[in-house]
């Protein structure tokens, strides 16, 4: 009997070069033209006024939409396994919550707030 070779796995194969450097990013900027989307990634660090772009990805509009769909599906799978990803509170929008510059914590008030004159009854 001749064994049939295994069919290739579905999807598109990708190879990771040995010299590829992974890049961590905590800041992203997205811009677009009628023809493409440009995603710039950098690192904001305390005490540094500017962040150098470390990586730039350029995609077609269709590629960007498919990437968004794939990222949305993967975030859903992640949350199904590890729980909901919590975002900072505020109404600055998703991009501002995820990629705003690092801010120092607010200073505590100089004096404690006055006591409530009508405390709730037990």
Q: Please report whether residue 67 resides in a domain.
A: yes
**pLDDT tens sequence across 12-23:** 788 999 999 999
Question: What is the count of structural domains for the chain?
Answer: 1
Average pLDDT over every residue of 46-52: 88
Q: Is 118 a member of any domain?
A: no
For the chain, report the end-to-end CA distance as a whole number of angstroms.
83
Residues 59-114 have pLDDT tens digits of 999 999 999 999 999 999 999 999 999 887 765 664 564 555 545 445 555 665 66
What's the longest Cα–Cα distance across the chain?
90
Per the structure block, which two tokens stand in for 25?
């990013």
Classify residue 1: in a domain, yes or no. no
Q: Is residue 13 part of a domain?
A: no
- The number of CA neighbours under 13 Å toward the Cβ of 38 is 10
Name the 3-class secondary structure at 66: helix
Helix, coil or strand: residue 100 = coil
CB 39 within 8 A of CB 28: yes
Residue at 77 is within a domain: yes
Domain of residue 39 covers 27-85
Q: Is residue 61 part of a domain?
A: yes
Instruction: Identify whether 121 is part of a domain.
Output: no
């Amino acid at each position: 009997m001749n064994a049939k070779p295994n069919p290739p796995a579905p999807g598109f194969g990708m190879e990771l070069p040995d010299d590829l450097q992974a890049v961590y990013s905590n800041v992203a900027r997205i811009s677009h033209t009628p023809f493409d989307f440009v995603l710039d990634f950098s690192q904001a660090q305390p005490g540094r006024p500017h962040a150098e772009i470390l990586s730039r990805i350029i995609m077609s509009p269709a590629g960007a939409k498919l990437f968004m769909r794939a990222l949305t599906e993967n975030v859903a799978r992640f949350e199904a396994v590890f729980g909901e990803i919590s975002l900072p509170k505020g109404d600055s929008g998703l991009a501002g919550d995820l990629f705003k510059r690092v801010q120092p914590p607010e200073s505590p008030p100089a004096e404690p707030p006055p006591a409530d004159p009508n405390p709730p009854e037990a």
